[in-house]
Amino acid sequence: MNVLVIGRGGREHSIVMKLSESNLIDNLFVAPGNAGMESVATCVPINETEIEKLIHFAQDNEIGLTVVGPENPLLEGIANGFHEVGLSVFAPSKEAALIEGSKSFAKELMKKYKIPTASYETFTDANKAKAYIIEKGAPIVIKADGLAAGKGVVVAETTEQAFQAIDDMLISKAFSEAGAKVVIEEFLAGNEFSLMAFVHGEHVYPMIPARDHKRAFDHDEGPNTGGMGAYAPVPDITDEVIQYATKEILQKAASGLVTEGRSFTGILYAGLIMTEAGPKVIEFNARFGDPETQVVLPLLKNDLLQVFLDVLDGKNPELTWEEQSCLGVVLASEGYPGPYQKNTPLPALAGESFVVYAGVNKTETAFVSNGGRVLLVGAKRTSLEDAGKLVYSTLPPNEELKGFFYRTDIGKLKEDTLK
């Protein structure tokens, strides 16, 4: 079979790396991909949202299955377009992907189908939003309703910070249309984790849990990012919690979408927080998480293509996992998630770790940066601690890096985590 993966980041490189292990694949393509993927797939110079061009490519190259990585083409209806011409695609329709595309839609779905989440209200008027904030008090969470590249969430510790977030989103239009409506939620205390599942209609097959680190700097300080590192599985999340989250959150969401006439096929991602009352939903995504995918897929024993095909056929893929831990640390461009420079030569990385490329280009002589999150260095070992040691032994010290930085505490559990 010929297979096409759509996307250009670390998540897609990880998907491509896993698919490249399959004996069922004749030709593996990625559009547009990046220079770091060229050793495992053929890069095709078509952007993720050029849906008509992607459809023509799939037809011309007899693509048997297309897998969509990022969220933007999902919400522009790429799966709908592929289905209309009879092409097989592992991705949700535009209608189903709204669970990620609109936070207010997701919250309404959770309310209707009794999925545990934070209490909330939705606003388009800044004054009404601020009155609600005064009523509820801080800490409080402000979210842009639409897609904001993982940056449209502010955890406001003071009323002033909450007001500033409202001004940024509703008045200054910092996230343009994505922030024209805001969701204001109660602040939930607890440890976060991510639970992804392969989904087809009513059928839900959960993966192992992962935890990513969103803040830019050590000790969870600094601005929110797309993710500075991750690890899987998560020692403080028990099998019982996973079973509960699968039944009460993922299954209810999948069944709810079927009932709403928005049947979901693809990867349903639940960003969860472990509260005293059990796991609750922070957000849903309609695709593989980034960087969680980079530490979950390396632990999957199954042939990933066979998993996709089984799920599409309504069969249980019988997921099996390695009895190991996987940890990954993101190397980011200096200044990220704010402005940063491109075309900086990448540092030398030596060791037994694996490297997943995200924001990179290639010159005649070397790889150079081409994004905020540049690459992820990952490792699998019998313990989380050993995996972390191996990753950090591969990375040069931060003070020796020119134009890059990384967090030094990925995988370190807070003292209260296991209480």
Residue 397, pLDDT above cutoff 80? yes
- pLDDT bucket at 123, cuts 50 / 70 / 90: very high
CA-to-CA separations, 3 to 57, 66, 277, in angstroms, rounded:
11, 6, 43
User: In whole angstroms, what separates CA 209 from the centre of its chain?
Assistant: 13
Q: Between 306 and 125, name the one with better pLDDT.
A: 306
Half-sphere exposure of 366 (CA within 13 A, CB side): 9
Q: Which CATH architecture has domain 2-93?
A: 3-Layer(aba) Sandwich (3.40)
Domain boundaries, the chain: 2-93, 119-186, 191-312, 325-405
Residue 418, pLDDT above cutoff 50? no
- pLDDT bucket at 224, cuts 50 / 70 / 90: confident
Q: Please report, to the nearest 10 degrees, the dihedral formed by the alpha carbons of residues 206, 17, 323, 233 taken in order.
A: -50
pLDDT given at position 139? 94
Residue 416, pLDDT above cutoff 50? no
- Percent of the chain whose pLDDT exceeds 90: 86
CATH topology of domain 119-186: Dna Ligase; domain 1 (3.30.1490)
Domain spanning 191-312: which CATH class is it, in words?
Answer: alpha beta
pLDDT given at position 415? 41
pTM of the prediction?
Answer: 0.92
pLDDT given at position 145? 82
Least confident span in 34-38, 57-61, 99-103? 99-103
Residue 44, pLDDT above cutoff 50? yes
DSSP assigned state of 372: S
Least confident span in 10-14, 223-227, 382-386, 400-404? 223-227
pLDDT given at position 147? 74
pLDDT given at position 176? 65
Please compute Rg for the chain using Cα positions: 21
Residue 153, pLDDT above cutoff 90? no
Average pLDDT score over residue span 222-247: 95
Token pair recorded at residue 282: 């922070």
- pLDDT bucket at 413, cuts 50 / 70 / 90: low
Residue 148, pLDDT above cutoff 70? no
Q: What share of the chain is helix, strand, coil (3-state, %, to 5)?
A: 30, 30, 40
Least confident span in 256-260, 293-297, 308-312, 347-351? 347-351
Residue 287, pLDDT above cutoff 80? yes
CATH topology of domain 325-405: Glycinamide Ribonucleotide Synthetase; Chain A, domain 4 (3.90.600)
Distance between CA atoms of 255 and 274, rounded to whole angstroms? 23
- pLDDT bucket at 414, cuts 50 / 70 / 90: low
